[in-house]
């Protein structure tokens, strides 16, 4: 039986990345898992149905990215699927957004996915097949108060997706983004804690406020995001898209 292409999932230690890795593994993919925390990656690997590689790395390091994809090439001949999920979120009023805050958001959410795409795509082009999916955000489609740097980074990575999709159209390589709203993840837990600290609301009130931002009145689940990623992996006619998974908040 032919093996399915190998997949690389960044930010695979928890949340969306873990759900995507488990989904791909359940569908028969060999999955390389990367994030900073080895313990979380091994917990994800234990949930996967098939073969995995646990490759701890700092995704903001270009050298670490090269080592990551070299390891996948050595083990499996390269990656046919990349899910660039690793990301971070911080909020601040625009006038209090420091240069350091700005740089962190762009480095993690924009530069790191770009570097991963740049590193993985030559092998995909050589094989005439590739599926690249970047986990962006509905903040790639609209602005909100207090997230200038985060929204800028997500708008930017959607531009990378669209340009790469146009460049590689017809090669067998597709490039798409999945744009979730507020998802029930550890990152959202941090947002809830920050809102509670800043506003004096209880964590339950802060979480309810985030859920209310979405027309269906609840947080998105990680499995719903993973389902959208799977659609991008399996449907070759999807290319250059930013697929919203937000309960209907952004209609496009």
- Return the domain boundaries, the chain: 7-181+221-245
DSSP 109: I
As a whole number of angstroms, the distance between CA 52 and CA 48 comes to: 8
pLDDT higher than 90, residue 159: yes
pLDDT at residue 175 is higher than 80: yes
pLDDT at position 3 over 80: no
Query: Beta strand 130-135 with 31-34: parallel, antiparallel or unpaired?
Result: unpaired
User: In the CATH scheme, what architecture does the domain 7-181+221-245 have?
Assistant: 3-Layer(aba) Sandwich (3.40)
Reported pTM = 0.94
Q: Is the dihedral of CA 46, 50, 55, 56 positive or negative?
A: negative
Q: Per-residue pLDDT for 112 more than 50?
A: yes
Share of the chain above pLDDT 90, in %: 83
Buried-state track 39-64, b at ≥16 Cβ within 10 A, e below 16: ebbeebbeebeebbbbbbbebbeeeb
pLDDT at 240 over 70: yes
Q: Which residues contact 74 (CB under 8 A, 6 or more apart)?
A: none
pLDDT(194) > 60 = yes
33: three-class secondary structure by DSSP: strand
Q: Is 147 in a helix, a strand, or coil? A: strand
What percent of the chain has a predicted confidence (pLDDT) above 70? 99
**CA distance readout (Å), 33 to 22, 44, 136, 138, 225:** 10, 8, 19, 25, 18
Q: Compute the radius of gyration of the chain from its Cα atoms.
A: 18
Q: Stretch 120-129: mean pLDDT, rounded?
A: 97
CA atoms within a 13 Å half-sphere pointing along the CA-CB vector of 2 = 2
Contact 171, 128 (CB under 8 A): yes
Residues involved in catalysis: 150
pLDDT digits (tens, 9 = 90+) for 56-83: 999 999 999 999 999 999 999 999 999 9
Banded pLDDT at 1 (limits 50, 70, 90)? very low
Residues in the chain: 252
């Amino acid at each position: 039986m032919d093996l399915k292409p190998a997949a690389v999932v960044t930010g695979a230690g928890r949340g969306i990345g873990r759900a995507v890795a488990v989904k791909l593994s359940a569908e028969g993919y060999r999955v390389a898992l990367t994030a900073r925390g080895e313990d979380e990656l091994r917990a994800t690997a234990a949930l996967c149905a098939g073969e995995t590689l646990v490759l701890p790395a700092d995704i903001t390091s270009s050298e670490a990215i090269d080592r990551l994809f070299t390891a996948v090439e050595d083990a499996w001949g390269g990656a046919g699927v990349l899910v660039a999920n690793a990301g971070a979120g911080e909020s601040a009023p625009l006038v209090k957004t420091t240069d350091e805050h700005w740089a962190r958001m762009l480095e993690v959410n924009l530069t790191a996915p770009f570097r991963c795409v740049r590193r993985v795509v030559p092998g995909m082009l050589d094989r005439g097949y590739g599926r690249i999916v970047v986990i962006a955000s509905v903040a790639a489609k609209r602005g909100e108060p207090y997230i200038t740097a985060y929204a800028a980074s997500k708008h930017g990575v959607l531009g990378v997706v669209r340009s790469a999709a146009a460049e590689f159209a017809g090669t067998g390589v597709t490039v798409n983004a999945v744009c979730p709203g507020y998802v029930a993840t550890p990152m959202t837990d941090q947002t809830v804690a920050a809102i509670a600290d800043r506003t004096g609301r209880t964590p339950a009130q802060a979480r309810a406020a985030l859920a209310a931002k979405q027309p269906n009145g609840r947080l998105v689940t990680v499995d719903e995001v993973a389902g959208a990623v799977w659609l991008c992996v399996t449907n070759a006619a999807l290319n250059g898209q930013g697929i919203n998974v937000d309960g209907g908040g952004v209609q496009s």
